[in-house]
Amino acid sequence: MSSVRDKANRRISSLKSLLCVGLDSDPDKIPELFSAYANPVLEFNRAIIRATSDVAVAYKINTAFYEARGIAGLQDMENTLGSIPDAIMTIADAKRADIGNTSRKYARAFFEHWPFDAVTVAPYMGFDSLEPFFSYEEKLVFVLCLTSNEGSADFEEKLMQDGTPLYRSVLGKVASWSRNANAGVVVGATKSSQLGEIRREAPGLFFLIPGVGAQGGSLEEAVDLGVDADRQSALINVSRALIYPEVSGSGLFLSIDDYELAVAEEAKKIYDGMRRVL
Ligand SMILES: O=C(O)c1cc(=O)[nH]c(=O)n1[C@@H]1O[C@H](COP(=O)(O)O)[C@@H](O)[C@H]1O
* Given 95, 173, 268, 269, the catalytic residue: 95
- Which of ligand 1's atoms lies nearest the C-alpha of 65? 22
pLDDT at position 130: 98
Judge whether residue 200 has pLDDT over 90: yes
Closest alpha carbon to 43 in 56, 29, 30: 30
ipTM above 0.95, yes or no: yes
| Residue 63 CB–ligand 1 contact under 6 Å | no
What are the DSSP calls for 154-178, one per residue? TTTT-B-TTS-BHHHHHHHHHHHH-
b/e map 121-136, b = 16+ CB within 10 Å: bbbeeeeebbbbbbeb
Active site residue 95: yes
Pocket test for ligand 1, best of 148, 155, 212, 219 (most atoms within 8 A of CB): 148
Regarding the beta carbon of 186 and ligand 1, being less than 6 Å apart is answered: yes
Binding site membership of 226 for ligand 1 (Cβ less than 6 Å)? no
In this structure, the residue with its CA closest to atom 7 of ligand 1 is 147
Poorest-confidence range of 17-21, 38-42, 214-218, 249-253? 249-253
Q: How far apart are CA 64 and CA 68, in angstroms?
A: 6
Mutate which of 24, 90, 119, 185 for ligand 1? The one with the most ligand atoms within 8 Å of its CB, which is 24
Atom of ligand 1 nearest to the CA of 239: 20
Asked whether 223 and 232 are in contact (CB, 8 A), the reply is no
Q: Where are the domains of the chain?
A: 3-277
Residue 175 has pLDDT above 90, yes or no: yes
Domain 3-277 in CATH 3.40.1260.10: no
| Res. 57 pLDDT band, cuts 50 70 90 | very high
Confidence of residue 248 (pLDDT cuts 50, 70, 90): confident
119 neighbors 182 (Cβ within 8 angstroms) = no
Q: Is the pLDDT of residue 76 over 80?
A: yes
Q: What is the pLDDT of residues 85-110, one digit of tens each?
A: 999 999 999 999 999 999 999 999 99
Rounded percentage of the chain residues whose pLDDT exceeds 70: 99
pLDDT surpassing 90 at residue 252 = no
Instruction: Give Cα 138 distance to the centre of its chain.
Output: 18
Query: Residue by residue, what is the 3-state secondary structure of 31-90?
Result: CHHHHHCCCHHHHHHHHHHHHHCCCCCEEEEECHHHHCCHHHHHHHHHHHHHCCCCCCEE
Regarding the beta carbon of 173 and ligand 1, being less than 6 Å apart is answered no
Assess whether pLDDT exceeds 80 at residue 250.
no
- CA nearest ligand 1 atom 20, residue: 239
Supply the pTM of this predicted model: 0.98
